[in-house]
Structure 1
């Protein structure tokens, strides 16, 4: 899945402005600040505004907050030079929510809080409304979030939190998500046939079985394989090819109605396709029972998998295993990505993204300078600020070259060599501020990825370039599909849990049927069991919420 800007001309100009601003007085001074310090030239420099922040949501760099780096890293220095603002960090390890609850109960909490679910702090009036602050100090932020700000409004019309990892207004994400992955050496040996439809895939897997029944060391080769992780690999990838928003378990009708995916017009065809592969021995019979670790150890690493339908990253790193083992033709044994379609299916939806984003950051009622807090958040949504947060400041691991931000060769070599990210975080500050309001979805105005080390062009990663080209057209805007059960009564929630259980478990009987007639009968039972568990009631509630969110997103009451 991400898994999301306005740079003042070249970034080099920004660095010069940092230096100038560092010698100038800043208009963000707090009341009662210490007397201004004097620099070497005798000019006054106001003491920085210090904002306290706690991260209880995880996802921070892996070094302790007691390390001076937290207060004295390159990004912190750049922000202080730019805005005269400094963050005093705390990070809750372990179950951060529990410690946060204790902190909130004590009344001694910081200016800003990063957390997973803002419901309690909003209800307890710990989070202050942000509407006026956004209007006065958040113009860049408003452009970045766009209409998604409407979905952050509570029932009183106020916005109390912001998010990260959202898809910026007008942006399109890179190529991530689910796909069919075929091993390159086998695919090319069979003539690189087109893999555009389910029939193409079926015919290809038949040829694999005929031509590659065994591995080089005599083990059984599986034309298609997979593993069982909440059915995430076996069917999420398959229904994504048919148009169900990846990971959602849902089908959205043209009228905006929400149903579980087995009720989609293409659902029976998808499961029949899977069943056909199973009955003809084209799929690993343990694909629906083995866990991920077992699959890797017994099937993927021994090079017994010719194709796989699932997340692109699930096979991406296996090339090193093959080359380390010095397998024949190992350098060509990596997996390429392909997206195919079903005759009755919709456009594939391999990667779901949300304009609303995830997580939350709030400004608390203890904050003495909420204006400064909003100016910081606004800056971090600009192109300059987001690039700074994602990569660290210009001049350490990247420079402007050829009119765009470019990794220095010394750092590029380190990334390609597989150096641990924490080492480079320590030197650059990258990622340290990225989860406040940052996003790595979409691309910069220079056409680069937001995180330069992930950019397949910058790193000359031809495999990732192929993935991008294959998958990028098939993302899905799932902004209005989150939180569809919010506010549901206990009976509806219980029915949802019962339906979800059957959704996962009962699909097995359809796919593993011994004949086509049995497959069709099991499919009918599958759908009827969902309705017996209360699917219709749950779908009606989700449809109501989906349409409500669509109206909110459009700015309608």
Structure 2
């Protein structure tokens, strides 16, 4: 009984000390001690200090804010994540050659909890990246749903997943309308009656009509019905083969039996090049389209309004309207380019935009991580709709708010975006974009029907031109999940042959396109294909086919 009384007396004294003095200990509490707060019921609640995880972004790109800038740890998204998850990231961001800086850091053995990088092969081989399977099973339920079967493609030969990606196409999503297309200048198109352009013949007839009615610009310069430039695979014919069914940016033809060849061996390849050759021989395409570089094309053809149509990326002509309006050209407001997708008689469904469910880049949790569970909780949250939207746009209440159950840009911010304000200014205020590469994706649409990045949403910004692009291009995307890394682990002989074939595939096509007659075209096309095989195309194609089928099997979990 005496012992019990003594305990009660001690507790009473402690309570008096707490209520009267506020604390019986030194006022300078340790940073690691919990913060004590009181709720309305007189109960005490303990708020733990945030879990601090170190992270480095070495994946490339120049950050808008220098390393050490308080922005990285104090921006609104960082604060929202700390409030939601009680996790705080201590950032290091490499500019310049991030790979070299990362190698030095790894060699020192003093590396962070989380690393964003381009290629995870070394950190996996060196056992710096820890297996994520159990963490995903326990803390990554949302992440599993978003990746779906694509998680199988992240497994290494030992069955473990060591890295995650960003910019993946979430399970069940379809991307907005981006990619390659035929682009026609609206004022000329409407003046010619806005004819249908669904087939290659329709396009041919349209370009003939342009030449007949608009041989010269108002200031007497030659007008080109179709123009372009030579920049690796950007133009002039890469967009054309995408229109015939070669997955955009792939240089490949995937046959019904899932075998892979270079596009020059596709059933439609000769027809596509013949179409270009016909345009060339009849003067319907700029003869310099295959030799001039991009800057020269812009300066000498696009900006002076000498281009009636162009085949390539939609963004290559999108901004030129400002040049025309600033120059006060007649009818300038109608001189923007519309997007058109057409088909070849023997072609497959156009594949103007390629996306991958696997995604790209890499993010790992290292063997030095103090709290792998917290790291996975963070990465999982950023795959949820709430977390991903937060990372892409910043927290609700700054640049966006919910209106009628849908996220909507505030008018003040919409006006700033439309006025062309630099994104860095709005990043500073909102924190948008800086967490976007942590297992984030801007592909597909949200459950509200918006783009993931509101300022890019043509409905949110009332951008009717982008709405037209979306409508025209969105049906023609291609799932390139199993063709994204077809030369993985290839031996040096196969890799050398691939480089030799790629060089011929690009350079030798021009002699086919520029043939002066049908007979010369036939001979040049046959030689074009023979030269690919002579360089080793068949060996490379066999390897790519093997890898493609292996990835398909892995994707299905078999």
Q: Which whole-Å CA distance do the structure 2 matches of 1:131 and 1:103 have between them?
A: 26
- CA offset at residue 154 of structure 1? 0.3
Aligned to 2:391: 389
Aligned to 1:503: 505
TM-score (ref. length: structure 2): 0.93
Q: Which whole-Å CA distance do the structure 1 matches of 2:114 and 2:285 have between them?
A: 51
- CA offset at residue 330 of structure 1? 0.3
- CA offset at residue 458 of structure 1? 0.4
Aligned to 1:21: none
Aligned to 1:287: 289
Matched, 1:399 2:401: yes
Aligned to 1:69: 71
1:163-215: per-residue Cα shift (whole Å, max 9, x none)? 00000000000000000000000000000000100000000000000000011
Q: Which whole-Å CA distance do the structure 2 matches of 1:285 and 1:544 have between them?
A: 40
Aligned length: 525
Aligned to 2:320: 318
Q: Which whole-Å CA distance do the structure 1 matches of 2:510 and 2:213 have between them?
A: 29
Aligned to 1:190: 192
Matched, 1:555 2:553: no
- CA offset at residue 40 of structure 1? 7.4
Q: Which whole-Å CA distance do the structure 1 matches of 2:126 and 2:233 have between them?
A: 39
Aligned to 1:146: 148
1:431-479: per-residue Cα shift (whole Å, max 9, x none)? 0100111000000000000000000000000000000000000000000
Aligned to 2:128: 126
Conserved in 1, the CA contact under 8 Å of 2:63 and 2:95?
no
- CA offset at residue 402 of structure 1? 1.4
- CA offset at residue 317 of structure 1? 0.2
- CA offset at residue 43 of structure 1? 3.7
Q: Which whole-Å CA distance do the structure 2 matches of 1:232 and 1:316 have between them?
A: 15
1:395-420: per-residue Cα shift (whole Å, max 9, x none)? 00000001111000000000000000
1:453 to 447, 452, 455: 455
Aligned to 2:298: 296
Conserved in 1, the CA contact under 8 Å of 2:62 and 2:95?
no
Bigger shift: residues 280-289 or 61-70? 61-70
- CA offset at residue 235 of structure 1? 1.4
SS at 1:344 equivalent: coil
SS at 1:54 equivalent: strand
Aligned to 2:34: 36
Conserved in 2, the CA contact under 8 Å of 1:60 and 1:432?
no
Conserved in 2, the CA contact under 8 Å of 1:61 and 1:431?
no
Aligned to 2:360: 358
Aligned to 1:230: 232
TM-score (ref. length: structure 1): 0.93
Aligned to 1:11: none
CA distance 1:146–1:59, change in 2 (3 Å):
farther
Q: Which whole-Å CA distance do the structure 2 matches of 1:428 and 1:38 have between them?
A: 30
Within-5 A mapping of 1:486-525? 486-525=488-527
Matched, 1:50 2:52: yes
Bigger shift: residues 38-47 or 325-334? 38-47
Q: Which whole-Å CA distance do the structure 1 matches of 2:512 and 2:451 have between them?
A: 42
1:103-122: per-residue Cα shift (whole Å, max 9, x none)? 00000000000000000000
Bigger shift: residues 484-493 or 121-130? 484-493
SS at 1:163 equivalent: strand
Aligned to 1:209: 211
Q: Which whole-Å CA distance do the structure 1 matches of 2:37 and 2:542 have between them?
A: 66
Conserved in 1, the CA contact under 8 Å of 2:67 and 2:94?
no
Bigger shift: residues 54-63 or 217-226? 54-63
Q: Which whole-Å CA distance do the structure 1 matches of 2:252 and 2:324 have between them?
A: 37
Conserved in 2, the CA contact under 8 Å of 1:60 and 1:431?
no
Alignment gaps of 5+ in structure 2: 1-29
1:443 to 439, 442, 445: 445
1:163 to 162, 165, 181: 165
Aligned to 1:12: none
Alignment gaps of 5+ in structure 1: 1-31
Aligned to 1:430: 432
CA distance 1:392–1:254, change in 2 (3 Å):
same
SS at 1:381 equivalent: coil
Aligned to 1:248: 250
- CA offset at residue 37 of structure 1? 1.6
Aligned to 1:275: 277
1:300-334: per-residue Cα shift (whole Å, max 9, x none)? 00000000000000000000000000000000000
Matched, 1:418 2:420: yes
Aligned to 1:136: 138
List structure 1 runs of 4+ shifted beyond 6 angstroms: none
Conserved in 2, the CA contact under 8 Å of 1:227 and 1:290?
yes
Conserved in 1, the CA contact under 8 Å of 2:61 and 2:95?
no
Q: Which whole-Å CA distance do the structure 2 matches of 1:229 and 1:334 have between them?
A: 23
